[in-house]
């Protein structure tokens, strides 16, 4: 009887040790995966960038550049020209420069002088600093019909696009969602350029190789969906890409609905060589969330 009990006890102990070992191995594997972007070179087929405003609460420009470099990213974007020297010290660029903001845009002729003045200055800075893209916007509706707003955008952008051409800088018109009203940076109720094809039509009418679309996957998903098909349809007009999880504009994790790896593969399939800016608002540890996003998009 004592022998039987001893044998049974030994088997139970062995099973417990094996289960513990398996659990430890699984934990170690998960930890390795979570830390992979910081410990190994990424493939780099997708040129990844971090959008500074999302992480400004946590990191200054020096720290942001350090993190971007550590994670194998190539850019910190939408940061002022005075920060570009810091980026260069870390081997980084600014993938796209900011400009006049989304509330004031080319859909209203009263705003043209202001927008053009800011864009000319930004184009000059980009030409001098080796930055290839500047963001621009339609502006808010404010009682302007969509047809009139589109006509005004075309006419206004034609007044500055020649200057962009001369300096070899792209103007990237961003489509934004007008549906989410929960947070001032998660959605923009009243924004006129709130559909992909609306913005594409404006771009086509401006008629310049320097006039492009900023394809924000998060905003497109909310308003239009069918992301991969739209990437293929509008491949010739895409100048820059942004990411975020939907709903909530949080991390690119399993709590949101967008399947990012096949979207990144679609960008490679269409021959896209521009940047993908990680533009999510952190809801947890910012480094971990950014690291996970880099690995996820590294197809």
Would you name the residues annotated as active-site residues? Answer: 174, 279
Rounded-to-integer distance, Cα 12 and Cα 18, Å: 10
- Find all residues with CB under 8 Å of 194, minimum gap 6, and list them: 175, 176, 177, 178, 179, 188, 219, 223
Q: Where are the alpha helices (DSSP H) in the chain?
A: 2-34, 36-39, 52-55, 61-70, 84-89, 112-129, 146-166, 196-206, 217-223, 227-233, 260-269, 286-297
Q: 31: which 2 tokens?
A: 């930890």
Rounded-to-integer distance, Cα 5 and Cα 3, Å: 5
Q: 153: which 2 tokens?
A: 């955008």
Strand partners, 93: 75
Rounded-to-integer distance, Cα 171 and Cα 132, Å: 9
Q: Are strands 238-243 and 211-216 parallel, antiparallel or unpaired?
A: parallel
Cα-based distances in Å from 214 to 17, 35, 63, 237, 258: 54, 30, 26, 9, 18
Exposed/middle/buried for residue 208 (C-beta within 10 Å: 0-12, 13-18, 19+):
middle
């Amino acid at each position: 009887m004592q022998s039987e009990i001893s044998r049974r006890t030994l088997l139970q102990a062995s099973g417990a040790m094996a289960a513990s070992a398996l659990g430890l191995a699984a934990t170690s594997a998960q930890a390795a995966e979570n830390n992979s972007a910081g410990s190994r070179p990424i493939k780099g087929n997708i040129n990844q960038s971090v959008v500074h405003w999302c992480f400004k609460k946590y990191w200054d420009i020096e720290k942001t550049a350090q993190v971007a470099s550590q994670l194998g990213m190539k850019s910190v974007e939408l940061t002022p020209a005075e920060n570009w020297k810091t980026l260069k010290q870390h081997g980084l660029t600014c993938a796209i420069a900011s400009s006049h903001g989304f509330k004031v845009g080319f859909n209203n002729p009263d705003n043209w002088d202001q927008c053009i003045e800011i864009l000319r200055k930004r184009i000059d800075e980009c030409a001098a600093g080796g930055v290839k893209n500047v963001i621009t916007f339609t502006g808010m509706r404010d009682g302007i019909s969509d047809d009139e707003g589109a006509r005004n955008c075309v006419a206004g952008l034609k007044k500055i696009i020649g200057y962009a051409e001369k300096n070899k800088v792209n103007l990237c018109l961003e489509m934004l969602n007008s549906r989410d009203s929960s947070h001032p940076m998660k959605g923009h109720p009243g924004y006129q350029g709130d559909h992909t094809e609306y913005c594409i039509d404006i771009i086509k009418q401006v008629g310049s190789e320097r006039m492009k679309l900023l394809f924000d996957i998060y905003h497109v998903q909310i308003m239009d969906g069918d992301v991969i098909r739209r990437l293929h349809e509008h491949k010739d007009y895409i100048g820059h890409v942004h990411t975020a999880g939907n709903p909530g504009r949080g991390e690119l994790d399993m709590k949101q609905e967008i399947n990012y790896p096949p979207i990144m593969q679609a960008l490679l399939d269409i021959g896209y060589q521009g940047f993908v800016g990680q533009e999510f608002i952190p809801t947890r540890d910012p480094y971990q969330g950014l690291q996970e996003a880099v690995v996820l998009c590294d197809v």
